[in-house]
Structures are given as C-alpha cells and as structure tokens.
C-alpha cells in the first residue's frame, strides 16, 4: 500500500523509459497496524463499560506516561535535544490548571488546553536561553530552568506556596461531560470522574502519538532526521535548523503541559516538589524511552509496558527499586543502546509504525533488480 | 552598609566552596566535553565516606587522606570500565550512564545512612571565626575552604601547563585525533581526568560536611551550582570557574539578604542572566 498525502515526499519521477519511481514510508506491517489500531481504540474507548475502577486508574497512569515518553522521544530521539528538565512543563501545566480552575473558576477540561498554551508560552523564552548551550550542557541548562520554575511557583501563596494545595471538590465535580458519563454508565461522581480522566488520558496518548507520527512522516520529519545526521549539511540543504528545533521544543512543551495538567487534575493535590519532580516526570520517562528504543515510534510503547510491570512488581522495594532502574539504564547504554525494539528489529525486519522513507521502484526496473539481489 | 559588605564577604567565601564543587566538573568539561550528572552525588558520597571513617575513630584529617585517593581510584575505574566504552558523537549514552549512577549513589546513601542530616566534626575549627572589626567576622573553615580552592587551581594549572603529562592533557582537549596520532593514549588520559575530578570532589565533600549539614538528597543541587559556576566562568578556564563560583555564591547571599527564601533562586537567576548577556561565559578559553 502506498500512503498518500504528507507521507509521500517525492512525487513519482518519470524516466526516459517511462518507469515510475516513488518514495513511501508504508510497509506491509504498517497496513496491518492500521487495521488493528481502529478496533483496539474502539475497545479502549468502550473499556469503562466493563472494566474495574482500579484498572482504569492504572491505565490512566500508563497513558499519561506513554504520552510523556512519546514527547521526550520526539525531543531527544528525533530532534537531538536531550532535556532532563521536562518536569518544568509538567509542573507549569499542572500549576496553570490549578490557577485556571481555582482562581479563575474555569472548566477543568478547558483549563487543560489553556495550561498547554501557557506551557508553550513559557517554553519560548526558556528556549532562547537554553539553546545557547549545546549537547550535554543543554541538558543541565533545562534542569536549571525547571528548578527556577519550581522555586518561583513555591513563592506563589495563592497556589499553596512551598507546601502545596488541594483542588476543591467542587472543581473536579464541575467538569464538562461529567453528567453525561454518570448517566451513560449509571455510576456515582468519583467513578464518573475516573472514567472521564481515563478518556482524556487516552485521547492525549493517542493524540500525541498521532501528532509525533504525522510530524515524523512529514517534511519536517525529514528535516529532523537530516539535522540528526549532520546539522551543517542539513543547514546547507535549506533546513532552518534553529527554527525547526525551536518549533519542536515549544510544541513538546505545550503537549507536556497538557499531560501535566491532566495528571494533577486527577491527583487533585499539588506541591512544587511533586509537580516538578525530576524522578517522576523525567527519569522515569527517559527510562521508558531508552529501554523501549530511542528514536522509534515503537520504543515508548514497549518501554511503558516494561516500566509498568517493573513498577507494579518492584516499586514496594523503594530505594532499591530506583537503584535497579539506574543500574538497568547503565547496562542498557553499555550493551544495548538501541533498547528492546532495537534488538527486535535487528532480527525481524518489521516496522508497524514506519517513519523511514524507502524508494519504491516499478517491477523489472534496475533499482528493483538491485533490491532483490540484496 | 556594613550588612552589605558582610553579605558580599560571605558570598565570596561561599563561592570558594562552589568553585571547589565546580573545579572537577570544569576539568572534565575541558578535556572530555563530558558532563557528569552524578558529580554532586559523588561529592556527597565522599562526605559520607569521611563521616563513616570518622565514626570508626579515624582522625578527620586522615579521612581526607584516605578518601581522596579512594575517589581518584573510583573515577579512574568509572571512566575506564564504563564511560570510555561509549565515547563518541552521541552524547546520550555517557549522559544517561552518569544519570543512572546519580540515582544509584543517591539511593544507596539513603539506604545506608538514612535521610538524617549530618555534619563532619572538625574539632575546635568548627565554629571559629576571625573578627574583622565593625561587627564583621569571617569563619575560619570557609576561609580555609577558599584558600584550598585557590591552591587546587594553582596545582592543577601547574600540572596542565608545566608538565609533559599536562601537555598530553591539553593536546587531547584540543584535538583528540591528532593527539592519538602523536602517540597519546586518549583513554588513559580520560581515565586520569575523571580520577582527578573525583579527587577534587573528595576535597569538596570534606568542606561541604565541615561547613554545613548534608544528607543524601542534596547532590543534584550541588551539581547545578557547579555547572553554573563552570558556564559563568567560561569553558576551559579554571580561574574562570573560581570567578563563576564566586558569582553564584555572592548572588545567593545577596538574594538571601533580601529575602531568605530567594537564596537558591537568585543564584540560578544570576546564571541565566550571564547566559543571556555572555553566552560563552566571563572568561572563555575553549571554543565549544
């Protein structure tokens, strides 16, 4: 199957003998994915009808972590912007949600969108500062920015200052769509809130996934992989490197802010230390991406499953669990830096979510013979 | 007015401690273009090692003599066993290895020593101070700390600029491929670099514990102060790092003088301002 629209970068080029070449990103596996994805999404949407509340809460966590992982993967894996400060935007999104709902009395769902916008706005000046640092220095620079945000918000007394504050119950129960859910599933307020949060998390996870997927298959994705290969070469080929990076940084920050807002809407309690936690919103997220396979669409999905299982069975070990994660990350970097998906794709040539462009030659052409000779 | 002079003096002394934190990081930056995210936690680790030795009855000065070579060996081993394997254009592996190490050290200390705050007892020097008149006094330990920071920079610059080994260090820093062509074993140089950096961390850990309280969780903040000092000072210059440490120290005490809650924030803000005005730092030497 040839994909259409933005996925197809090169229009077919006619040669003298009339053969027709085209460029595609589609694979047979991606066609299968397409047919499996739709029923899977339908099942996930309908899940609240028969799943337990605990399962929905667990899936909420999985989906929000998946969304954060996809976003960090776009930033670090595709754009080469290795940040250890994404907790800045989780925290800003979360605090913006509290400000919009508690102080400005806006609807929580609307506030999530606005919180994303705020995070994106903050990302612009932040980018102008941290982009002056390169590579590993950039990483620590983003961390300083996150610390600055945490320390500033700890000064805001209306939002609880250093100790934090709780979301008043009436805020959560004023969510748009809550009555609809309550009537649809015949459940009480708190259960209906969980269902609504679950749906929002599902939408955010799928939305982020599609956003990143579409982006990587578009000409911007091509620009990104060119930047990844060589910044100088990309620049000379007409890619505006700094603008592309700025766009990715700001877009990622906005989406991260929305996820952060949703997470803390569900938690209904906020404090600077929780909202700007390096471990919860960056270390775990990096772990998910790296164990799954950085720079691939499949990696974060595999990573979040592995991470969830580890968390489920071992989190009770406390600091030993964290030491184990740290040791796993080190071992991975030394012996399998491409992660689990990298190992899988070394042995099986499948790609359910392909972003790489391949040249398709017509049957019998020179390129085709070369292809089959390999 | 006297209050401000006092604030400034205390800031400069605090800057001495911060430049001790930063010197190791600056050396690694300068020679390997590497960032060690576990730097702060390794400083705290050194302080805890001294605490454990002191608890066994070892005199405090002797613990320094034991822990400094120990940390040197740890740095040498860390670089040759792990970080040398992932050298290259991709900066993610070394960054994540040191990030993993940071989490391991932090939680290992928490598990071994609990979250209680500790300090190193350095005897009669602990609270001693020199009166300067006008109600201003400066602590003896902070003064020794600043003097040590300067002495270490003099020593390192002596090694780097006056010895054959130092020439190898500088050659590796300038162009690793040409240095290798000239017969320099760059991996051995890197291992020595990390060893030196962690030896300085051990000294920094001593003054961390002697000047103030510490607990297993404070490493990352020390990493940030150290990093800020290096960037403010400019990459590749140890005197710049000292100046950077003093800028962060003074910014923090000035902030704290206005409102105690602003201490840490004003240090970070000073860093961001320098980054905006002079992105290459105050005294840049290396291009990178």
- ipTM of predicted complex: 0.91
Residue B283 lies in a domain: no
Cα A42 from Cα A59, distance rounded (Å): 15
Any domain includes B122: no
Nearest to A211 by CA among A262, A158, A162, A258: A258
- The pLDDT of residue A374: 41
- pLDDT score at A183: 81
**Residue B265 falls inside a structural domain:** yes
- DSSP letters spanning B218-238: GHHHHHHHHHHHHHHH-TT-H
pLDDT digits (tens, 9 = 90+) for B133-186: 777 888 899 999 999 999 999 999 999 999 999 999 999 988 888 999 998 999
Measure A333 CA to nearest chain B CA, in Å: 5
Residue ranges in chain B modelled with pLDDT below 50: 288
The model carries a pTM of: 0.89
Residue B133 lies in a domain: no
Position A25 pLDDT exceeds 80: no
Q: What is the pLDDT of residues A301-353, one digit of tens each?
A: 999 999 999 999 998 998 999 999 999 999 999 998 889 998 888 888 777 78
**What's the confidence (pLDDT) of residue A172?**
76
Q: What span, in angstroms and rounded, lies between the C-alpha atoms of B238 and A149?
A: 30
Q: Which helix (H) or strand (E) holds B88?
A: none
Q: List the one residue out of B164, B230, B170 whose CA is nearest residue B200.
A: B230
pLDDT at residue A372 in the model: 46
Q: Structural domain of residue B145, as residue ranges?
A: 10-113+140-277
Higher pLDDT, A347 or A370: A347
B103 closest CB neighbour out of A134, A141, A323: A323
Mean pLDDT within A133-158? 92
Mean pLDDT of chain A: 86
Taking the Cβ of residue B34 and every Cβ of chain A, the question of whether any pair is shorter than 8 Å is answered with yes
B284 located within any domain: no
Task: Provide the domain count of chain B.
Answer: 1
Those residues whose C-beta lies under 8 Å from the C-beta of residue A36, and which sit 6 or more positions away, are none
**How many angstroms separate the CA of residue B110 from the nearest CA in chain A?**
8
**CB neighbour class for A346 (10 Å; exposed up to 12, middle 13-18, buried from 19):** exposed
Compute the distance between CA of residue A219 and CA of residue A7 in angstroms, rounded to an integer.
Answer: 8
- Nearest Cβ partner for A330 among B35, B97, B224: B97
The span from the CA of B207 to the CA of B140, in Å, is: 12
pLDDT per residue as tens digits for the range A180-189: 888 888 788 7
pLDDT grade for A17, boundaries at 50, 70 and 90:
low
Q: Which residues of A touch B (CB under 8 A)?
A: 76, 82, 84, 128-129, 132-137, 139-141, 143-145, 147-148, 151-152, 154-155, 278-279, 283, 286, 290, 294, 319-320, 322-323, 325-330, 333-334, 337
Residue A230 has pLDDT above 60, yes or no: yes
Give the separation between CA A254 and CA B131, rounded to whole angstroms: 54
Does the residue B5 lie in any domain? no
CB < 8 Å to B33, chain A: 135-136
Band (pLDDT 50/70/90 cuts) for residue A6 is very low
d(CA A171, nearest CA chain B) in Å: 31
Q: In whole angstroms, what is the distance from residue A294 CA to residue B57 CA?
A: 49
- Alpha-carbon distance B280 to A132, whole Å? 9
Strand partners, A359: A23
Phi, psi dihedrals of residue A268, rounded to the nearest 5°: 60, 15
Task: Yes or no: say if A139 and A82 are a contact pair by the CB < 8 Å rule.
Answer: yes
- Residue B124 CA to residue B121 CA, distance in Å, equals 9
The verdict on residue B124 lying in a domain is: no
Read off the pLDDT of each residue in A128-154 and give the average, rounded to a whole number: 92
Mean pLDDT of A126-131: 93
Which residue bears the tokens 């081993």? B77
Query: What is the nearest CA distance from B27 to chain A, expressed in angstroms?
Result: 14
Q: Is the pLDDT score of A13 beyond 50? A: no
A68/A234: higher pLDDT? A68
């Amino acid at each position: 199957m040839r994909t259409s629209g933005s996925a197809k970068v090169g229009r077919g080029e006619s040669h003298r003998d009339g053969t027709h070449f085209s460029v595609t990103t589609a694979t047979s596996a991606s066609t299968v994915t397409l047919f499996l994805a739709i029923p899977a999404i339908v099942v996930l949407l309908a899940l609240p009808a028969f799943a337990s509340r605990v399962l929905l809460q667990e899936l909420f966590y999985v989906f929000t972590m998946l969304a954060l992982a996809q976003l960090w993967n776009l930033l670090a894996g595709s754009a080469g912007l290795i940040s250890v400060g994404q907790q800045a935007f989780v925290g800003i999104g979360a605090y913006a949600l509290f400000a919009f709902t508690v102080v400005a009395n806006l609807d929580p769902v609307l506030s999530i969108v606005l919180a994303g916008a705020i995070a994106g706005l903050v990302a612009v000046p932040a980018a102008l500062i941290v982009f002056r640092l390169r590579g590993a220095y950039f990483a620590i620079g983003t961390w300083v920015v996150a610390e600055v945000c945490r320390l500033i918000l700890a000064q805001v007394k209306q939002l609880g200052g250093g100790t934090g504050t709780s979301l008043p119950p009436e805020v959560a129960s004023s969510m748009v769509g809550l009555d609809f859910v309550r009537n649809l599933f015949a459940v009480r307020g708190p259960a209906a809130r969980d269902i609504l949060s679950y749906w929002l998390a599902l939408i955010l996870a799928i939305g982020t996934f599609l956003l990143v997927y579409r982006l990587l298959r578009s000409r911007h994705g091509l620009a990104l992989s060119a930047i990844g290969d060589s910044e100088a070469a990309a620049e000379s080929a007409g890619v505006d490197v700094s603008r592309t990076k700025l766009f990715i940084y700001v877009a990622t920050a906005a989406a991260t802010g929305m996820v952060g807002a949703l997470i803390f809407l569900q938690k209904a309690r906020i404090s600077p230390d929780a909202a700007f936690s390096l471990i919860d919103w960056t270390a775990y997220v990096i772990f998910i991406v790296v164990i799954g396979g950085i720079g691939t669409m499949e990696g974060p999905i595999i990573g979040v499953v592995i991470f969830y299982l580890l968390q489920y069975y071992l989190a009770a070990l406390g600091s030993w669990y964290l030491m184990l994660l740290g040791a796993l990350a080190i071992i991975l970097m030394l012996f399998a830096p491409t992660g689990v998906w990298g190992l899988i794709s070394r042995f099986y040539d499948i790609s359910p979510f392909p972003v790489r462009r391949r040249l398709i030659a017509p049957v019998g052409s020179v390129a085709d013979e070369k292809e089959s000779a390999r | 007015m006297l209050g401000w002079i006092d604030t400034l003096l205390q800031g400069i002394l605090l800057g001495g401690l911060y430049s001790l934190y930063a010197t190791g990081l600056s050396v690694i930056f300068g020679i390997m273009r590497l960032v060690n995210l576990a730097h702060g936690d390794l400083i705290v680790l050194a302080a805890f090692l001294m605490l454990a030795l002191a608890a066994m009855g070892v005199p405090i000065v002797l613990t320094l003599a034991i822990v400094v070579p120990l940390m040197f060996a740890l740095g040498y081993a860390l670089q040759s066993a792990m970080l040398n394997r992932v050298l290259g254009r991709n900066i993610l592996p070394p960054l994540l290895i040191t990030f993993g190490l940071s989490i391991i050290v932090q939680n290992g200390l928490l598990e071994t020593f609990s979250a209680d705050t500790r300090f190193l007892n350095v005897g009669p020097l602990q609270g001693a101070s020199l009166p300067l008149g006008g109600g201003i006094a400066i602590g003896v330990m902070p003064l020794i700390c600043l003097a040590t920071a300067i002495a270490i920079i003099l020593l390192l610059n002596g090694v780097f600029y006056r010895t054959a080994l130092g020439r190898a260090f500088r050659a590796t820093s300038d162009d690793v491929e040409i240095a290798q062509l000239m017969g320099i074993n760059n991996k051995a140089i890197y291992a020595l670099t990390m060893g030196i950096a962690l030896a300085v961390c051990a000294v920094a850990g001593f003054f961390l514990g002697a000047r103030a309280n510490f607990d297993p969780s404070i490493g990352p903040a020390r990493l940030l102060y150290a990093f800020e000092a290096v960037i403010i000072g400019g990459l590749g210059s140890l005197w710049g790092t000292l100046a950077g440490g003093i800028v962060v120290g003074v910014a923090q005490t000035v902030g704290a003088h206005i409102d105690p809650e602003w201490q840490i924030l004003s240090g970070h803000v000073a860093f961001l301002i320098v980054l905006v005005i002079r992105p290459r730092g105050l005294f840049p030497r290396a291009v990178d």
